Structure formats: structure tokens, C-alpha cells
Amino acid sequence: MTKNNQLADHYFRSLNRNIILIIIIVSVIPLILVSSTIYYQFRVAYHEKVYDHLRELVNSHSQNIDHFLQEKLSDIRFLSDICGRGKLEDEPFLQERLAALQKDFGRDFVDLGVINADGVQIAYAGPFKLARADYSDAEWFRKAIQSEYFISDVFLGLRGLPHFIIAVRNSREDGHWILRATIDFVRFTTLVENIRLGQTGFAFILNNKEKLQTTPMTRPSIDMIAGKTIYAEFLAKPSVSPSEVRIAVKSDSSQQENIYVAAFLKYGDWLLVYQQRAADAFADLGKTFKITTVLMFAGLLGIIMMAFTLSRQIVKRVTKADEEKQMMSKKVVEAGKLASVGELAAGIAHEINNPVAIMVEEAGWMGDLLEEEEFHESENLAEFVRAIEQIQTQGKRCKEITHKLLSFARQTDTTVQDIHIKELLEELVALSTQRAKYSMVEIQTDFPDDLPFLKESVSELQQVFFNLINNALDAMENDGGTLTISSRRKENYIIIKVSDTGKGIPEVNLGRIFDPFFTTKPVGKGTGLGLSICYGIIDKMGGKLEVESTVGTGTTFLVSIPIKENSDGLQIEM
């Protein structure tokens, strides 16, 4: 038995484990697959979107800046061509032109200067005192004098402030001369500074020697050196088309990924670089990742919890069903045993009946003989008569016992007959009188004569009432009491009431007493089938079997049996 239990225990544990595993595997794998696929696709698309956005941003700004420079160059060129050296050498005129330019373009132009072929500034208009300044050694002058127009890198120059120069060479009148304009560095820088995204996105311009052309002053903390190799890489490959934008992602010294977006400006001289922490650029993605992760873990947790609860419940039910099955099969075996005991009893009763009949007959014969004259003188005549009577009495008792045994072990006969309920009940009460006497139970009956006949099977009804009466007697076995059986007619039903004054049925059991195999009797004493069979029989007849019980007061069973149509009229005639 213990081995069996261990086996069952082991089985249920492995069942539990398997259910949990299956639930987890079946739910978790799709969850992870779906989540990661969606996240991955979203990530790719989002990256694409961010890159596109940055590319567009940088591209438009680089065009903007190019346009800005182009515009300034055209202005100066126009000025140089229209006015000519003679007019421009006149400083008040130059002042006037500067004022006009500043009026048109705000403070973009800082100053204007006319420089002769020797690098000497022959006229100057602007806030600095740079008249007659000699630029012959300045790098920008050397380059500017060799080409028609020139835009310099940012440098400090004579004034000691960062600025850059737009210079236009003109050679129409007596040799080369140059008209140059200084662009306000601060204003130029704002063009780039305006490119700002997120927390860490900023832009700047590098020349082809990786020198900053604008001040990324808003973010002095950004590690510029980390980008060095990237800038060098960008610069190493000259742009094919002016609108080409390059993107690179690289970790900086603090192990944080940065996105670098670059576009060439000024015919490849300058590089507009936009730089942003990847984490910042993809902040929304990061948030999504966090939410997805949290949701996924919540889902996982839910699945695991559900797996455990569900499997526990399933195993609990299976265990219960298993127990019930075992109990049931035990009881079925018991019931089967009981049935065969019943058959055996019937066989024995039948076999004993004949010898008993013979014995009673012989005793009767002896009684007959004792009436003869010759025995009348015998002194023991009275004793003989008494002994023979005793034999006959006991024989009759045997007969009663065997008849009862036979009557209840017999197979149920379902032949429908006309039944007078009074007779049937009186017969059963008579059978129970002896037992009631032993249990000190008083039986009270109330059977009116005028009840209509029932068209049912005698043996089935006998079985029902015999069961109910026996149960009532069982309930009062130890303390005695009163068993009341009454019958009456109510509408189209005959209602038979069997009440005892026994210990009553607790409420918890009340709902289960008609369940097959439900019994409160010790093992082997009751099959738990009695009431359920009764219920089945009465139900089949179209009637009702009801119970009312109060613990300590007693129990009442109400049997309602329908009176079949047309039975009334027929019975009265008979």
C-alpha cells in the first residue's frame, strides 16, 4: 500500500512538473519570439528613421550653409564688379557699401577691405583699425591672390578674434586687387549651433585639417578627441556628390556609442559634423525596450504563476478523481460482495425451507398421534404436547426468517400491479416490528382506507419503504424513539411520510445522502446505495423523494408517488 502510495505520489509529482514545463515552454517561447521579433523589427525601422532624419537634417543644413557662403560670395563679387577699384578705394564709399550690406543682411558682414596685389590693405571699412594693414604674409592672401574668389578657414588674424574671410580677386584695372569681407563668426556659428537635437545632439564644422571652424561651446564636455579617427575617415574620402551625407557609429573613450553624421561643405573644404550619443538619439527606442522588457517579464511571471497554480489545480482534481475512483471501485466490489451474499442467503433459505417443512409436518403428525386413546394415560402427555407445540412454533419462526431472506434477496420484479399502499405499508411495518421492539422504537401508523390504487411494481415500492423504515430504525437504534408512517392524498399524488425522532442528518451531509455510495455508516455496514436506489425508483415513477432533517430532532422522508390517470375509475369497479 505504501509502495503504491509512493508510486502515485511520484506520478502526481512528475505530472505536476510536466504540466508546468509544458505550459511554460508553450507560452514562453512564442512570447519571447514575438517580443524579440517585433522589437528587432521596430529597432531596425526606428534606426532607419533616426538616420534618415539626421541625414536629412545635416543635408539641409549643409545646403543652408553652402547657400549662405555662396550668397555672401556673390554679394562681394557683385560689389567688386560694379564699383571697381577706383570707387572702392574711397573709404567713405566703402563705409557706405558696408552699411548697405549690413542693412540688407544684418550683422553678417563685419568689415570690408580692398587689398592691392602686394597684400597691403589700401582701403578699409569696419570696426577695427586695419587700414594699411599688410597681409602679404597671411596665408589666406597668398591663396586668395591665386584664385578668383576664396573663402578662408577660421583664423584669428591681426584682430585677434576668430573670423573668416570671403575674398574676390579682380584684375580689370591695373593688376590684381582683392575685395574682401569678414563674416561675423558668432553669427555664422549660430547657423550650426541651431542644429540641436535631444540632450546631446550638436553640430560643428571642421576644415580639412580637422580644425574646428565653429565653436561647439554649448557642449564643452563632449569628447571631441574620440571622434578624431571618424573625422579623419570622413575627410580621407572626398565627397563624390555635394549632397552626400555619411553616417558612422563609434564608441568614445567613455564607452558610449556616438552617432556621427557628416556632409561636406564649401566644395569639400569643410565638413559639417553632427554628433549625438546613440542612447540619446534612440531614447524613444530605449524607452520602448524598457517597456517591452518589463511587459515581457510581467508576462513571464504571470505565465509561471499560472503554470504553477493551474498544474496544482489539475493535479488536485486528478488526485481527487483518482481517490474517488479507488473508493468507488472498493465500494463496487463491496456491493458486489453483498449481492452475492444475498444470493447465497436466498439459496440457503430455500434449501432450509424444505427440511423445516418436513420437521414441522412430523411434529404435527406426532401431535396427531398423541390424540390417540392409548397415550392419554401417559403421565408426560402434557410435556409431549408442549414439546411438539414448541417444535411447531420454532419451525414457524424458521419459516418466517427464510421467507424474509427470500423476499429481499430475490431479484427485483418490475411487473406493474395495482397496489393498495395501505396493505403494502402494513406488511412492511409488520416485518419491522420485531426490530423496532429491540430498539425500543414505537411505530405509529396512519393509513386511510380510501386512497386510490397505485400502478407500480410491488417489489420496488417494498424496497423503497423497507429502506426508509430501516434507515429510520438505524437512526434511533441506541436511544429509541417514535417512527411515524403516514399516507395521504394530495392532488394527484399519494404522499407517504416516514419520520423518525433520531439523531438527524447534519446539514453538510443532507445534500449528499442521495449520492450513490455516500454513507456515514462504518465500512462494511452500509453500501451507500439504499437511498440512491430509492431515489432512482421514485424518480422513475415520476415521483419525488425529499428529506427534511434537524440534528437532534429527527428526520422526515417524504415520498410522493403520482396516481396514474384512469387507475381511479378502474380500481373502484373492482
Partner 1 sequence: MTPPLVMLVDDEAPFVETMAKRLGKRDLNVILAFSGQEALEILDNQRNVDVVILDVKMPGMDGIETLKNMKSAYPLIEVVMLTAHATVESAIEGMRFGAFDYLMKPCDMEQLMGKVNEATRKKRDHEEKIREAHVKEILAKRGF
Site residues for partner 1 per CB under 8 A: 346, 349-350, 353-354, 356-358, 360-362, 364-365, 368, 395-396, 399, 402-403, 406-407, 410, 413
Radius of gyration of the CA atoms of the chain, in A? 59
Nearest distance in Å: CB 482, partner 1: 31
Q: Which is nearer to partner 1, 58 or 360 (CB)?
A: 360
Residue 234: all three cell numbers together = 570622413
Nearest distance in Å: CB 5, partner 1: 46
Q: Which is nearer to partner 1, 365 or 438 (CB)?
A: 365
Q: How many residues does the chain have?
A: 574
Nearest distance in Å: CB 508, partner 1: 42
Q: Which is nearer to partner 1, 461 or 513 (CB)?
A: 461
Q: Are 381 and 369 in contact (CB under 8 A)?
A: no
Q: Which is nearer to partner 1, 81 or 413 (CB)?
A: 413
Q: Are 504 and 550 in contact (CB under 8 A)?
A: yes
Nearest distance in Å: CB 574, partner 1: 16
Which of 257, 213, 252, 220 has the alpha carbon at shortest distance from 235? 213
Nearest distance in Å: CB 346, partner 1: 7
Residue 290: all three cell numbers together = 524598457
Q: Which is nearer to partner 1, 119 or 367 (CB)?
A: 367
Burial profile 349-375: b = 16 or more Cβ within 10 angstroms, e = fewer = beeebeebeeebeebeeebeeeeeeee
Nearest distance in Å: CB 355, partner 1: 9
Q: Which is nearer to partner 1, 293 or 354 (CB)?
A: 354
Name the strands in the sheet holding 245-251, side by side, starting at the edge strand that comes first in the sequence: 202-207, 270-277, 257-265, 245-251
Q: Which is nearer to partner 1, 242 or 364 (CB)?
A: 364
Q: Which is nearer to partner 1, 9 or 361 (CB)?
A: 361
Q: Which is nearer to partner 1, 430 or 551 (CB)?
A: 430
Q: Which is nearer to partner 1, 303 or 370 (CB)?
A: 370
Distances from the Cα of 206 to the Cα of 57, 154, 240, 284, angstroms: 17, 10, 18, 30
Residue 414: all three cell numbers together = 418490475
Q: Which is nearer to partner 1, 275 or 457 (CB)?
A: 457
E strand segments, 356-459:
416-419, 441-446, 454-457
Distances from the Cα of 268 to the Cα of 207, 213, 262, angstroms: 9, 14, 11
Nearest distance in Å: CB 437, partner 1: 23
Segment holding 65, helix H or strand E: helix 2-88
What is the rounded distance in angstroms from the CA atom of residue 188 to the CA atom of residue 91? 26
What is the rounded distance in angstroms from the CA atom of residue 514 to the CA atom of residue 114? 121
Strands 544-550 and 454-457: unpaired
Burial profile 485-504: b = 16 or more Cβ within 10 angstroms, e = fewer = bebeeeeebbbbbbbbbbbb
Q: Which residues, in sequence order, are bridge partners of residue 170?
A: 177
Nearest distance in Å: CB 371, partner 1: 9
Nearest distance in Å: CB 385, partner 1: 15
Q: What is the DSSP string of 136-204?
A: TT-HHHHHHTTSSEEE---B-TTTTS-BEEEEEEE-SSSS-EEEEEEE-HHHHHHHHHT--BTTTBEEE
Q: Which is nearer to partner 1, 358 or 440 (CB)?
A: 358
Q: Which is nearer to partner 1, 404 or 544 (CB)?
A: 404
Neighbours of 59 (CB within 10 A): 17
Nearest distance in Å: CB 392, partner 1: 9
Nearest distance in Å: CB 361, partner 1: 4
Nearest distance in Å: CB 430, partner 1: 15
Cell 524579440, residue located: 36
Q: Is 95 exposed, middle or buried (0-12, 13-18, 19+ CB in 10 A)?
A: middle
What is the rounded distance in angstroms from the CA atom of residue 499 to the CA atom of residue 369? 51
Which of 252, 282, 140, 265 has the alpha carbon at shortest distance from 204? 265
What is the rounded distance in angstroms from the CA atom of residue 284 to the CA atom of residue 544? 72
Nearest distance in Å: CB 445, partner 1: 24
Say which amino acid occupies 259.
I
Q: Which is nearer to partner 1, 60 or 407 (CB)?
A: 407
Nearest distance in Å: CB 406, partner 1: 4
